[in-house]
Structure 1
Amino acid sequence: MKKSILTGAAVAALGGLALFGLASCGGDSNTKTAEKQEEGKVLNVRVWNDEFISRFRDYYPEIKSEDKKNEEFTLKNGIKVKFQMTSNQGGAYQQALDQALTATNAKADDKVDMFLFEADYALKYVNSKYTLDVKEVGLTDNDTADMYEYTKTIAKDSNGKLKGVSWQVTPGLFAYRTDIADAVLGTHDPDEVQALVSDWTKFDGVAKQMKDAGYCMLSGFDDAYRVFSNNVSAPLVNKDKKIVIDNQLKAWIKQTKEYTDKGYNNQTSLWSKDWNAQQTINGNTFGFFFSTWGINFTLANNAAVKNDAGKNLEGKYRVCYGPASYYWGGTWIAAAAGTDNKATIADIMKKLTCDATIAEKITRDTLDYTNNQTAMNKLANDPEYGSAFLGGQNHIKLFAEAAPKINMDNVSAYDQTINEKLQEAMKDYFVGTVDEETAWNNFYTKVLAAHAELSR
């Protein structure tokens, strides 16, 4: 998963979660097996960025030929694979996907066969009639046995059917600059830095040290959000459809207001130009909370940017656990109901999400953390393995310890909207444009406009 800028607007645009019958998908609870059928000539795949396209292109062994410009591939069995990419911006991806899934007059080779979804809105699609049980597609319990449990938990519907599989696992760490660590803390050793930021009280203390030395602890308002939001004690929407603000979110607001007022952050926003610039050698930010994809994609790319003297930060970041365990993001593959390419989808799922050899190669090549415990534990314990970007540090070892701690028990189908609208509304409070009460009112107004079925 790369960055996601998706809002709840897409849900509201097509009747929201009610469109997909979220309460229960119902139907026959008996497991079905993939039936012999003639495969369609075209496999249509919906995505919001090119991350999965690159994984498919580089690691799916059944590709016969490719046309990178059109993102169209021909498999050895003659099937053409067509990717349709719609940006997450403004909710466009979900809106386009919903329209395609509910279309009744599309020709067989124009229908959606396979699509991707993210953790923040997984339940919307998992608990719908538009996704297939992976067993019906052709996967078995044995195929998915080596996956991390949370990646299966989030993709199970209310009847316990697994509706999606992922090639990646997304535990989070704290990535920090070695030069700033040496200058302020006197060390950049990951174990020693971890001891200094192992809880929020210590983290706040280091933030003051950074400020006193002319640096910022974090880049902006949103940087620590996922560390708090992924540790909530209950779903953000209860069974009565009432929005419940957890104390973890209140703690994020309190900390971020304090960091903003005291100059502990640079007042940037996720994905903004200024936020990206803080990850380069020209920035003055000590560290960033990132999960797997953030380290190997976002941070690595930004750190490679050179200054006027031709220097950059490659090899100048390290990672430690930080003050709390968390995860961020993740991408799942789903088979669309009505697909005429079950066998091909099953093969893609098996090779890209169940094969230990392919999983290990993806990690070695891209630094991503893949969804195969055998492969990841092998790399975690390999004394020769390390990331050049992280100065030779074996970040997989840290991820391997963090991944089993990921808990998806408290996710809700409304997390995408709530997460985004809360961060948006609170920025006005952080900079002093409005008071906290007004910010809360603005938050509820935005969420209820997207989901009229909810209440405050």
Structure 2
Amino acid sequence: MKKISRRNFLLASGAVTIGAALAACGGSSASTSTASSAAASSAASEAPAAQGKVLNIWCWNDEFQSRFNAYYPEVSEVAEDKSTTTLKDGTVVKWTINPNENNNYQNKLDEALLSQDSAADDDKIDIFLIEADYALKYVDSDYALDVKADIGLTDDDLSGQYQYTKDIVTVDGSQRGTTWQATPGLFAYRRSIAKDVLGTDDPTEVQSYLSDWDKFNDVAAQAYAKGYKMLSGFDDSFRTFSNNISAPWVDGTTINVDPNMMKWVDQTKEYTDKGYNNKSSLWDSQWAADQGPTGKVFGFFYSTWGINFTLLGNSLETPVADGETPQVGNGIYGDYAVCEGPQPYYWGGTWICGAAGSDNIELIRDIMQKLTCDEAIMKQITLDTQDYTNNEKAMNEIANSDYSSDFLGGQNHIALFAEAAGKIDMSNAGPYDQGITESFQAAFKDYFTGNVDEDTAKANFQTAIQEKYPELTDVVWPA
């Protein structure tokens, strides 16, 4: 695979303009790309002679920060405002957290990486985090170091990890990131609603009613007859369809809309017209409320992080303080369960990348080894947080144990995640996925609500793509 050019690196997120790139680097786009690429490649191949005493980590929320502070063995002290973490050897970890809204995180990260060569050592980015939707934009460039050749992880270190978590950040045999989590998806449903609609809340029996889309749609009709919504809104099932496309979105300069995406369009339009959803969008107030005590939605498609963080939090009547354990009876805590649903899928995931130009290679290696490869640490994170971590042996041990989740009514959801994780296929992932899927969802929302017809929604999608990615010249729709 050919590395993304500096110009396309910026265009792949739609976040930083070419003008901003030139302002950051100086000179013409051609000369800047050549000089910067050479400098970044040199930085990636030459290990620094000495380690720095400041480690700069860039991320978009505090999830990795909390994992680092709680589970990295070298942590000595955390500042009261959490802006810094001091390690036992005196190294100061500085956290730069830029929220993800409106591509803000990528925008600022891109600008900083473009200035990496000229930044002072204590200001250079050492570690930056990326998400699955735009991972290839960074790993298929000169900004992320090879975790083996440049950083020093071994095949043995990485052997316990799920293969897909390595594949998504590997280009031309070079793995340029690693992660502590795997993110298979399941369908989380309300036990009380399932009993009312189906006569059972048992996960195995509920799965038998939801094992393909035709059955899923039948249950949606039954739920509606009982006064419930099957899903909250337009986007809930999107990942389940988009993760099961037959080919990448982009081939050369052409976007190919997979037939599976139009199945999502047809289903969502039907659900909206028939009242099977609440016309919400991911992360809006209606969507969050539908997951809580007053909600009347059958279930939600969620991956690992979503169940134990977002869904759990939204289920509570009374929020709990950090470190406090919620109890059954607080809202609908204990009324959810999970099953496989109609199709395997994944959602999200966060990868740790070492930045070219860092003067903390040995420390980056130790962090990656401890927080993504150490079996005991991975197992403890899952036991403590219910998150699903990236060590197949550790997860199988928990899956085959008497582990249970009070939030999920005593269910061992790790067993289902362990089965689903092996089915994840990242072969169709591409660097434009985030921008394309966001534009696709936005264009068809107007169709779902009746503001435009389907042909207009298609035309609006094509216009949005041409504005966002002018190098992509054609859109082909399924017959």
**TM exceeds 0.5?**
yes
Match runs of 1:184-199 below 5 Å: 184-199=197-212
Give deviations 1:380-408, integer Å, cap 9, x for gaps. 000x2011110110000000000011000
Secondary structure at the counterpart of residue 155 of structure 2: coil
Percent of residue pairs bearing the same amino acid type: 54
In 2, are the aligned partners of 1:281 and 1:306 still within 8 Å (CA)? Answer: no
Secondary structure at the counterpart of residue 421 of structure 1: helix
Secondary structure at the counterpart of residue 265 of structure 1: coil
Unaligned runs of 5+ in 1: 1-5
2:429 to 411, 420, 435: 411
Match runs of 1:362-377 below 5 Å: 362-377=381-396
The aligned counterpart of 1:120 is: 133
How far did 1:305 drift?
2.5
In 1, are the aligned partners of 2:13 and 2:106 still within 8 Å (CA)? Answer: no
- What code does the residue aligned with 2:331 have? N
Secondary structure at the counterpart of residue 410 of structure 1: coil
How far did 1:12 drift?
7.4
In 2, are the aligned partners of 1:14 and 1:95 still within 8 Å (CA)? Answer: no
1:39 to 39, 51, 57: 51
How far did 1:68 drift?
3.8
Does residue 176 (structure 1) correspond to residue 176 (structure 2)? The answer is no
- What code does the residue aligned with 1:139 have? L
Does residue 448 (structure 1) correspond to residue 466 (structure 2)? The answer is yes
Q: 1:312 to 1:334 in 2, by over 3 A?
A: same
The aligned counterpart of 1:282 is: 294
Q: Provide the C-alpha distance between the structure 2 equivalents of 1:265 and 1:111, rounded to a whole number of angstroms.
A: 47
The aligned counterpart of 2:380 is: 361
Q: Tell me how many residue pairs correspond in the alignment.
A: 441
How far did 1:83 drift?
0.7
Q: Provide the C-alpha distance between the structure 2 equivalents of 1:386 and 1:443, rounded to a whole number of angstroms.
A: 44
Give deviations 1:283-341, integer Å, cap 9, x for gaps. 1101000000110100000011259xx85110100000000000000000000001000
In 1, are the aligned partners of 2:40 and 2:356 still within 8 Å (CA)? Answer: no
The aligned counterpart of 1:321 is: 340
Q: Provide the C-alpha distance between the structure 1 equivalents of 2:13 and 2:48, rounded to a whole number of angstroms.
A: 40
Q: Provide the C-alpha distance between the structure 2 equivalents of 1:28 and 1:15, rounded to a whole number of angstroms.
A: 15
The aligned counterpart of 2:7 is: none
In 2, are the aligned partners of 1:120 and 1:329 still within 8 Å (CA)? Answer: yes
Does residue 251 (structure 1) correspond to residue 263 (structure 2)? The answer is yes
Secondary structure at the counterpart of residue 192 of structure 1: helix
Q: Provide the C-alpha distance between the structure 2 equivalents of 1:11 and 1:344, rounded to a whole number of angstroms.
A: 33
The aligned counterpart of 1:392 is: 410
Q: Provide the C-alpha distance between the structure 2 equivalents of 1:98 and 1:395, rounded to a whole number of angstroms.
A: 38
Does residue 334 (structure 1) correspond to residue 346 (structure 2)? The answer is no
Q: 1:65 to 1:342 in 2, by over 3 A?
A: same
Per the normalisation by structure 2, the TM-score is 0.88
Unaligned runs of 5+ in 2: 1-11, 23-29, 320-328, 475-479
In 2, are the aligned partners of 1:10 and 1:92 still within 8 Å (CA)? Answer: no
Q: Provide the C-alpha distance between the structure 2 equivalents of 1:170 and 1:92, rounded to a whole number of angstroms.
A: 24
How far did 1:443 drift?
1.2
Match runs of 1:19-98 below 5 Å: 35=47, 37-98=49-110
Q: 1:93 to 1:399 in 2, by over 3 A?
A: same
In 2, are the aligned partners of 1:8 and 1:416 still within 8 Å (CA)? Answer: no
Q: Provide the C-alpha distance between the structure 1 equivalents of 2:281 and 2:390, rounded to a whole number of angstroms.
A: 30
In 1, are the aligned partners of 2:231 and 2:300 still within 8 Å (CA)? Answer: yes
Q: 1:317 to 1:34 in 2, by over 3 A?
A: farther
Q: 1:377 to 1:94 in 2, by over 3 A?
A: same
In 2, are the aligned partners of 1:10 and 1:91 still within 8 Å (CA)? Answer: no
Give deviations 1:33-55, integer Å, cap 9, x for gaps. 99573111100010001110101
Per the normalisation by structure 1, the TM-score is 0.92
Q: Provide the C-alpha distance between the structure 1 equivalents of 2:160 and 2:465, rounded to a whole number of angstroms.
A: 38
In 2, are the aligned partners of 1:47 and 1:86 still within 8 Å (CA)? Answer: yes
How far did 1:193 drift?
0.2
Secondary structure at the counterpart of residue 340 of structure 1: coil
2:450 to 417, 432, 436: 432
Q: Provide the C-alpha distance between the structure 1 equivalents of 2:151 and 2:383, rounded to a whole number of angstroms.
A: 29
In 1, are the aligned partners of 2:238 and 2:264 still within 8 Å (CA)? Answer: yes
Q: Provide the C-alpha distance between the structure 1 equivalents of 2:45 and 2:340, rounded to a whole number of angstroms.
A: 42
Secondary structure at the counterpart of residue 205 of structure 1: helix
Match runs of 1:216-255 below 5 Å: 216-238=229-251, 240-255=252-267
How far did 1:173 drift?
0.1
In 1, are the aligned partners of 2:129 and 2:352 still within 8 Å (CA)? Answer: yes
Give deviations 1:223-282, integer Å, cap 9, x for gaps. 0000000000000011x2211100110100000000000000010000001100000010
Give deviations 1:161-213, integer Å, cap 9, x for gaps. 01000000000000000110111110000000000000000000000000011
